[in-house]
Amino acid sequence: MRVGVAKQDLSKALSLLNKVVDKKDAEQSFAWFKFSASDGLVVEATNYSVHLRMLLPADVEIEGEVCVEAGVFAKIVQSSKSKVLELRAEDEKLVVVGDGVVQKIGIKPVKEFPIFPSCNYQFSLQAKVLREGLEKVGFAVDNDKNHRSSPLNYVFIHGQGEYLNFAGSDGYRLAVFRVDIPFNEKIYIHRKLLDILPKLLKTVEGEVKIGVYKDVYELVCLAGKNFELVSWVSVGYDFPNYESAIPSGCNTLIELYAEDLRRVLESLVREPKVIFELTESSEGFRVKAKDHFNNEIEVWVRGRVVGKDLTVAFRPKQLLDFLKGINHYIQIELVDEEGPAVFVADKNYLFAVMPVREIT
């Protein structure tokens, strides 16, 4: 193998492939990169649950395949100041040349690297739609590693015929984003992909091909112009009926500018909880908290409160995860102190969160 590739292209690819690599044991293929030079340069990384390969533009002089230890190769690329790198296989080494600097790394056996699964792509979604959905609800997904077979470890893409929902939940909070396009499939996107897939999708124009099927295990395959990704799905039961968890009415309504609430919560984010004291008003409401020295903090939030008086508590970080990036008016709908509070960003995007029960 002998190939020339732009360092910038290679560095960007490695930043994502490094999120897949398991570097615990350098002798295992999960700690390697695989390079395949033919029509461009394909770089692969895999672990127990994800297999990613990316296509980079490259000047291929000699075709071939090699595997190398991922951590060592990434450091070589990072340290190089050359704009173009030459990679060539030579005497059981991968030689990396840039601006006259020659570095060598031992080659691993290609036959030990897992073969990329054969994918059957049955349908597609616009890359922009898929990326926006993952970004809007991914923060609410459960990240408890002990719940490996729980569907709450996944973003659930739920086709409803005339529309689809993206849903993410950890059992205490739920984010739902609706897209009004026809779709009938059910897709599970594991939380581990949330650091990878949105960045891949930014480079894709048009549609992303998707396949969902069972081989030995259930697989979700996604493919854009410059990447293919396979995720193994390990869901022990169906995603909960998230729509039934959203109250259909409210007794207390808050209308406010999202940024006003976000600024207040950011100042209180270190506190374990904040208390909303809600009384009907066109001016706003009080938010209270106690610091670690038990000193009471009180802040006024501008807005409009309509309906029943209510005192309700929340964990500030849970609300900030939703409010991030929203810079317009929203509504908060509450039934009582114990039921889910529903934050409505717009008609297609909402967030339901359980209050903190003890507010004293």
DSSP for 159-200, written as a single string: E-BS-EEEEEE-SSEEEEEEE-S-B--EEEEEGGGGGTHHHH
Q: Biggest alpha carbon distance in the chain?
A: 79
Same domain assignment for residues 17 and 101? yes
What is the model's pLDDT at position 146?
67
Same domain assignment for residues 106 and 30? yes
180: left (phi over 0), alpha (psi -120 to 50) or beta: beta
Same domain assignment for residues 155 and 234? yes
Segment among 5-9, 24-28, 72-76, 164-168 with least mean pLDDT: 24-28
Which of these three, 72, 93, 112, is where a domain ends? 112
Give pLDDT tens digits for 76-113. 999 999 999 999 999 999 999 999 899 999 999 999 99
Single out the residue of 128, 245, 121 nearest to residue 179, CA to CA: 128
Give pLDDT tens digits for 223-256. 999 999 999 998 888 999 999 999 988 999 999 9
Domain that residue 53 falls in = 2-112
Exposure letters 21-37 (e unless 16+ CB within 10 A, then b): bbbeeeeebbbbbbbbb
Same domain assignment for residues 254 and 212? no
Residue 290 CB-density burial (10 A; 0-12 exposed, 13-18 middle, 19+ buried)? middle
Could you tell me if residue 191 is inside a domain? yes
Residue 97 CB-density burial (10 A; 0-12 exposed, 13-18 middle, 19+ buried)? middle
pTM for the structure as a whole? 0.92
Pairing state between β 154-159 and 93-98: unpaired
Same domain assignment for residues 263 and 334? yes
Could you tell me if residue 307 is inside a domain? yes
Q: Are 106 and 32 in contact (CB under 8 A)?
A: no
Confidence of residue 360 (pLDDT cuts 50, 70, 90): low
Same domain assignment for residues 101 and 132? no
Single out the residue of 342, 315, 319, 335 nearest to residue 176, CA to CA: 342
138 phi/psi in degrees, rounded to 5: -60, -30
Which of these three, 244, 271, 298, is where a domain ends? 244
Same domain assignment for residues 256 and 240? no
Confidence of residue 144 (pLDDT cuts 50, 70, 90): confident
Could you tell me if residue 358 is inside a domain? no
Task: Give the CATH number, domain containing residue 21.
Answer: 3.10.150.10
Same domain assignment for residues 181 and 277? no
The number of domains in the chain is 3
Q: Are 105 and 69 in contact (CB under 8 A)?
A: yes
| Dist. CA 109–CA 309, nearest whole Å | 69
What is the model's pLDDT at position 341?
97
The contacts of residue 98 (CB under 8 Å, 6+ apart) are 7, 80, 81, 82, 84, 85, 86
Could you tell me if residue 66 is inside a domain? yes
If you ran DSSP here, which 8-state letter would residue 258 be given?
H
Same domain assignment for residues 133 and 107? no
